[in-house]
A and B are shown apart, each in its own frame.
Chain A
Amino acid sequence: AQSVTQPDIHITVSEGASLELRCNYSYGATPYLFWYVQSPGQGLQLLLKYFSGDTLVQGIKGFEAEFKRSQSSFNLRKPSVHWSDAAEYFCAGLLSGGYNKLIFGAGTRLAVHP
């Protein structure tokens, strides 16, 4: 079955430190992959997406993600975290077969220490 896994439930980093959030997928063909961010009381906001082509994808707010087929991963990175980045981050994949259905991981909650 197609699935998305986020191994880290909670991560804490210091402000200014680098960040990497992990995402693994299980899909038959090349997946469409997404990263969303959810701040408290807010809806999900799309950070970036990968469909094909360049495996390093740039997104909003200084985030980037790298698609690695050999590792079935799509990890999210940011070189220097700001306190405002504290939120919940969700990796998602698009179910293939024409269903246009997003499958979300369980999320990683990011805390930022001053």
Chain B
Amino acid sequence: EAGVVQSPRYKIIEKKQPVAFWCNPISGHNTLYWYLQNLGQGPELLIRYENEEAVDDSQLPKDRFSAERLKGVDSTLKIQPAELGDSAVYLCASSLVGLANEQFFGPGTRLTVL
């Protein structure tokens, strides 16, 4: 069974440019998470979806970040415009719906903003 798929794996952009990351969760997983991982830190949750609904987006900087999961399957995270401080790894994870179900993580997208 395929795991969580993310693309691209690496992205280098100049500041003020837009960027988008894509995630395809494990088949059947209703819950999808986007995490931000800064260098030398643990992941921090940006947004959590249950099916199409964003049930926790309290940590998403809504002035420049947006996310969507239109059909309740794959998801896109966008930054517009990117800033130097956005350089980090963006991780996607998925799980079955319910408390404390195991979250399966994708390999992440490493973003470098110049």
Contact = CB atoms under 8 A, between A and B. Distances in A.
A104 B43 CA distance: 6
B40 A101 contact: no
A34 B93 CA distance: 15
A94 interface: yes
B4 interface: yes
A45 B105 contact: yes
Nearest to A38: B105
Contact of A43 (B56, B102, B105): B105
Interface string A36-78: 1000011111100101000000000000000000000000000
Contacts of B31: 100
B43 to A, nearest CB: 5
Contact of A44 (B44, B56, B91, B100): B91
A41 B108 CA distance: 8
B42 A92 contact: yes
Interface residues of B, number: 22
B56 A99 contact: yes
Secondary structure of the B contact surface, majority rule: loop
Given A100-B99, A101-B56, A43 B42 contact: no
Nearest to A90: B42
A65 B41 CA distance: 22
A94 B103 CA distance: 11
Contacts of B105: 36, 43-45
Given A43-B91, A44-B91, A44-B105, A105 B42 contact: yes
B107 interface: yes
Given A104-B43, A106-B40, A43 B107 contact: yes
A107 B42 contact: yes
A74 B41 CA distance: 19
Given A43-B106, A43-B107, 12 more contacts: A32-B100, A41-B107, A42-B107, A43-B104, A43-B105, A43-B108, A44-B93, A94-B100, A100-B31, A100-B99, A101-B48, A106-B41
Interface of A: 4, 9, 32, 36, 41-46, 49, 51, 90, 92, 94, 98-102, 104-107
